[in-house]
Chains A and B, each alone.
Chain A
Amino acid sequence: MSFASGSLLPTMVRRERASLAATVLAPVLALLVALILNLSLYRLMGRDPVAIVYAMLLEPFMSWASFSEVLLKAGPLLLIAQGLAIGFRAKVFNIGAEGQFILGAIFASAIPVYFPQATGQWIWPAMLLFGAIGGALWASITAFWRVRLNANEILVSLMLSLVAAQLLNYLLLGPWKDPNGFNFPQSVMFQYDAMVPTLIAGTRLNVSFLITLVLSLAAFVFMQKSFSGYKLQVGGLAPRAAGYAGFKQGSAIWLSLLIGGFAAGLAGAAEVAGPIGQLQRSISSGYGYAAIIVAYLGGLHPIGIVVSALVMAVIYIGGDNAMVSANLPIAAVRVFQGSLLLGYLIAIAFVRYRLEWPKTAPKAADRSPS
């Protein structure tokens, strides 16, 4: 192993085996670094960092009511990220969860929009199922483009998200606009039976949160215990080995995208049939993109993702709080998210590498040929 002597900079040296400590510490370290950097930024902007820390990190835990909002926010992030992580492990980079989420919301809304008078306990489960199918269908376009046409799934899935946002606008300004809605771009309010039942009285937390937890468990079993999950992972880690073993790359891509689309679509359906109660423009606060960060921050592991989804939900709710109490612009949440992922990508390097500092004072004589 050569290292650049003559420089005072440390070099990265590959570890003999991956460091478990670094794996666990990386997200914590990333969070701390992002926190320090962002608080300094708020300080520069003339905001009070102490008030922001209070509003962002403590207030969400101060009451059961606000903590239940954190759980509510964590739901869609968790669900989408579990789906995406399965694809990311297979090196299928579906970054169009935002669009799959929107399509899920649209498909689910079709039922109450076209049958506003319908009653019965079948409605909300049917909406969730429709939404999941809608998300999977939208993702299947990307899968087809990738498998049959060899097109880059990153670009196609992202473009489809931009198209989905326009489709949502079209529906809300046109055929699905609430005729009694004072011309606002939103659908009718959904009827009672189109709403997912509340889980805990007095909060907005609903049954979809339970479904999310069950599906997280399913993701764990699928990725860690099943043969299909194993095939996906081998395909991601060693595509050639997967090829020799006869694991088809095409089916891995289809499976990854369908799972990702299904989960994101279900999350979209659960939002309109849950806390929102109608189809609107602002159904997603960038969940599809934030979930990418959640997936990475959780180490692409189903259990890690549960933790990172909670962290991201605290940042969202805390950001809302800080907007009200400390006049922090809402865009600060996106800055925080971006710096968090960058911090994590740096920290995670230490799982496989360690730093080696130059041992002696650099001299010209030390310069060894590499």
Chain B
Amino acid sequence: MSSAESRYMETLKAKTEKLLKEVQELQKALGMEQKDLPEETMNRLGEEELTTLEHAYALRVDGHFDLRISEDEMACIGDFYPPSPGGEPLSLEKVQERLQALGVVYGVNWEILGSALFTCNLERQEVLDLFIARGTDPVPEVPEHYQLEEGIQNCKPTLDSDAQRVDFRSVSPFIIVKKGDRLARKVPRRSGVLGRTIRGKDLPFPIERVTFLVPGKNTEEREDGIYAFCDGALKIQENRIQVEPILYITGNVDYHTGNIEFPGDLVVEGAFLDGFQVKVRGSILCKGTIYAANVFCGGNLQVYGGIIGKGKSKVIAEGEVQVKFLENCYLESKGTIYSEAGAFHSVVYTKAEFRTGKKGLVVGGKITAQEGIYIANIGTATSPKTELILGNDFQIQRKLEWIRDKNIDLALRMKEVSQALSRDPDNSELMQTKDALLSHIRQLNEVSQKLIHFLTVREQARLCVQGTVVPGTYVEICNVSYIVPRLMRSVSFYLNRKMGRVEVEPYRVS
């Protein structure tokens, strides 16, 4: 033990001894224990406490309540306190009197009030902040107006915040409508209803503020609403609801516009950027360049710049196509394709003609044109070879290729079945399978034999080259192949059907 601790213990011991001594002295001064108390004193024990209890019982509290009215006189709120034992219970009459005194004449909920009194009186519980009367709000008057259809309102772009990945390209700010779509429905006038305070005062009704839409260009007003008069983009300008049959985009097709699907024509001042998709039922005018975007055009396609596909772009047009140049892209059209500067490593299909400008060059890739190909120059000394296919309908060809692929699958399956049958010749299930496979092959063959009559549509199709064509260029006219053996200038390639070969003659303008 340290010296400090030792000193502390001594001090404590001394203090304790002193205290015990004082207690002993006090006991001596009292001179007696409880049993020694006089009898009279003993008899009066507890009487004082009982008297206090009796007095407390005599101070009972009645049930009481407090009512207050809101500033706008639309609600009366009450606090209800239970009576103490022996106290007067709360009574409905008293509350009624108080309500009357406060001028509450309307909107009292007697059921709630009765329940509160019951709780207070029998369960001895306080009921606080209870709405016992409520006023009625006025119902605003709604004037007759047009309201945008819910479907159209919901067209506005929204993003799912929970989504793990959001493709912002799929978010478009345009609202596309079709002819005959109801754009806005007529909301009839609705009368207003007066409100009332709990003190019985009538409250005037307001008139609801609504947007007064009016029918505009390319819309039609009918009994029940405003309808689109043509396909197009919905536009609301100064409350005028209208349909634009041509969609104008002042910039690029990018994250501002999202992917575009439009039933009319499309004009784009800028470019179609990588990865976006444009599907238009009408024609497209692109004043910039189409990059690695996928485009479907139901009409004509005009591109002031080129199509720079980066090996990813797929452009399909139902009508004619006019572009500055084609590079590393896939282009398909039912109409004539005119590419001023030519095509570089591109795959092109057309049911009409493919043409370039006077200095146009086609290098690499494949050009398939049913009606004819007119090019200034084909290939360069070191470039990959170019393929030019003429005379056939490429869509029929595709169908035939699809049938071929299916037929190959069926044929291979049939070979397996035949082998199995050779091991188990009486297996009826295998025989049935073989018959079914044969039947499918037969059906596909019938279709292909019909289609073959529509494959070659233009035996007169010509490949005309104003400038030069390099050796190695592959030419095919109505299935007959030809490979250019040497550098040729200003030549036309045509099919000599009688001889069954492709022949060459000096270039002539057809």
A binds B: no
